[in-house]
């Protein structure tokens, strides 16, 4: 039995499918197509790619394949993914600011910003296109940055491409915007009211059985690390309850999943985080798009032609 979506949510529904395009690299030349794809996209084993070949879903250099084939460097791969059912998502949000170009909304938890992770149409970007068409607007607001699906709060969009470009530079690690979040985490030992804690450890890429490589905290044990990115977070205690600490987290860098990773790094992962666990472990069964945690983009300061702009989005937490 399929339960209807809550009020204010878009029902789960089939999309029209999608064509994924890729190219064979030098190191994959001479291998079977199924082996190349299963190594690159670990969520699908060789057996599943062979099934897709038998269904005629894969093309090589514009020709449909019905059986496995050896590939060469530079070969063009296309996978015509059939329509799939996208989960229900929120489709209502509060507008924080709209001057006809700059649009800032309070994004609800559960709504992806951009396509990816099984979402194509059930995204904020697609909903913005639909709303603009319904209103007959010439310009569509497009996201400047991307909050995680289950991160709520301040999402910045802009209608003019020049505005998006200027704002995008501010969201880069060396940019000038100031981003402050609220986060429920396990108790941070040694942090008391009135104190701040600086976290400056790198965010690193570690191996993951489903995704190949994934951003995470520095591991306790010796294991492969592919890339390292410097990151800085500042923590301040807002509330302390039996379930954990409510933290104010200000970041001057915008690394992938930075807050989730830094809190796991210091032994205080977000409450309910299915991916980043105690002892700096990363779950083998979860992905960054899985929810269960409470993280909210609370305050934001941006530079503009009119000076500094400051925005704040209240949380929906009880």
**pLDDT at residue number 222:** 82
Return the bridge partners of 250, or none.
180, 234
pLDDT tens column, 59-95: 999 999 999 999 999 999 999 999 999 999 999 999 9
**pLDDT at residue number 155:** 98
Instruction: For residue 144, report the phi and psi dihedrals to the nearest 5 degrees.
Output: -90, -35
Domain count, the chain: 3
- Judge whether 13 lies within some domain: no
Same domain, 195 and 288: yes
Return the bridge partners of 151, or none.
295
> What domain range is 66 assigned to?
18-82
- Judge whether 149 lies within some domain: yes
**pLDDT at residue number 172:** 86
Considering the chain, what is the average pLDDT of its residues? 94
pLDDT tens column, 269-300: 999 999 999 999 999 999 998 999 999 999 99
Token pair of 177 as six digits: 């915007």
Same domain, 185 and 291: yes
- For residue 254, the surrounding DSSP H or E stretch is none
**pLDDT at residue number 304:** 78
Is 0.85 surpassed by the pTM of this model? yes
- Judge whether 30 lies within some domain: yes
Whole-angstrom Cα distance, residue 217 to residue 204? 6
Same domain, 192 and 291: yes
To 10 degrees, what angle do helices 33-40 and 46-54 make?
A: 130
């Amino acid at each position: 039995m399929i339960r209807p979506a809550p009020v204010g949510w878009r029902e789960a529904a089939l999309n029209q499918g999608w064509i994924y395009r890729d190219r064979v690299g030098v190191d994959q030349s001479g291998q079977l197509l199924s082996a190349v794809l299963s190594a690159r996209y670990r969520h699908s084993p060789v057996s599943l790619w062979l099934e897709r070949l038998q269904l005629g879903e894969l093309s090589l250099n514009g020709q449909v394949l019905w059986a496995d084939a050896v590939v060469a460097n530079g070969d063009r791969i296309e996978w015509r993914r059939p329509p799939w059912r996208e989960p229900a998502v929120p489709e209502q949000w509060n507008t924080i600011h709209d001057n006809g170009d700059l649009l800032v909304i309070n994004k609800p938890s559960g709504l992806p910003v951009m396509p990816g992770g099984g979402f194509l149409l059930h995204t904020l970007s697609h909903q913005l296109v639909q709303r603009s068409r319904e209103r007959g607007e010439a310009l569509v607001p497009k996201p400047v940055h991307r909050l995680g699906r289950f991160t709520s709060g301040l999402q910045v969009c802009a209608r003019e491409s020049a505005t998006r470009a200027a704002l995008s530079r501010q969201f880069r690690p060396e940019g000038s915007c100031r981003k402050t979040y609220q986060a429920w985490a396990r108790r941070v030992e040694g942090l008391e009211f009135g104190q701040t804690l600086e976290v400056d450890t790198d965010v690193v890429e570690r191996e993951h059985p489903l995704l190949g490589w994934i951003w995470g905290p520095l591991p306790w044990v010796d294991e492969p690390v592919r890339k390292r990115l410097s990151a800085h977070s500042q923590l301040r205690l807002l509330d302390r309850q039996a379930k954990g600490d409510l933290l104010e987290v200000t970041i001057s860098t915008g690394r992938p999943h930075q807050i989730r990773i830094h809190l796991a790094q210091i032994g205080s992962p977000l409450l309910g985080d299915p991916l980043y666990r105690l002892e700096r472990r990363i779950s083998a069964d979860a992905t960054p798009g899985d929810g269960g945690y409470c993280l909210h983009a609370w305050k934001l300061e941006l530079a503009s032609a009119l000076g500094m702009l400051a925005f704040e989005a209240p949380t929906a937490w009880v």
